[in-house]
Amino acid sequence: MTVALITGANRGLGLETARQLFVKVPGIKVILASRDVGKVEAAVAAFQKQGFAASAVQLEVTDAASIKAAAAVVEKAHGVLDILINNAGVGGKAQSPLDVTAEELRQTYEVNVIGVIAVTQAFLPLLRKSEAGRIVNLSSILGSLSEHSDPNSFIYAWTPTAYDASKAALNMVTVELARVLRDTKIKVNSAHPGWVKTDMGGENAPLELADGVATTLELALLPANGPSGGFFHVGVHLRW
């Protein structure tokens, strides 16, 4: 039986990922993690009414005690974790290197980078027990150094520095984590969901939620011969 945990699962991409995992993987157990567990309880109840094995856990990715407690809950309930989806993230303000504040940089990195590392470290012992552990880090094309350096790229002129730099750093975490786990059955990849209609993406985004989780699902359900240490959008390996 497959066990998955999704951080930031109370809304948007996280919640939609849970919904589609239930459809795609019969019998899967999905743990919806959120810093405010009350925000996922209604979703969990709705899933359970449909016969899905959903549960909720309180998990604040910037709080060490919360992360440790969540890992203990999952270990007691399941003893293993097959899929970890590091979905929780913040967008910040669209500020350039000329006016971004040190505080915004700290806050953004705390969630988008440090939080991902802390959560992954806490759940790694359970992922090691899996027959096919999968870690998916929700990144963004805005974290691509190559795209930002290319005058022909559609993101060339965009400079939301705190967010962009945090996703570039997250991609480095993905590469190095995949390398140190290369002799295990665990695969680690970064996913660019695309520009999706979420609270962060806004109503003008061209993709619906169902489309935005396609890459995450692909990477979460990779076969044994699938890639590790890559940066993908719907099967396409993106430029770092």
Cβ-based neighbour number of residue 235 at 10 Å: 9
Which residue is catalytic, options 167, 187, 190, 228? 167
Nearest to 216 by CA among 57, 18, 10, 33: 18
| Dihedral angle computed from the Cα positions of residues 200, 202, 208 and 211, in that order, rounded to the nearest 10 degrees | -40
Q: Which residues contact 232 (CB under 8 A, 6 or more apart)?
A: 189, 190, 191, 192, 215, 218, 219, 238
Nearest to 95 by CA among 84, 86, 103: 103
Is 146 designated active site? Answer: no
Is 156 designated active site? Answer: no
Could you write out the DSSP letters of every residue in 210-232? HHHTHHHHHHHT--TT---S-EE
Which residue is catalytic, options 55, 163, 190, 228? 163
Which residue is catalytic, options 66, 140, 166, 228? 140
Give every strand in the sheet of 236-237, ordered side by side: 53-58, 29-34, 3-6, 83-86, 134-138, 187-191, 231-233, 236-237
Is 167 designated active site? Answer: yes
**Residues annotated catalytic, as ranges:** 140, 163, 167
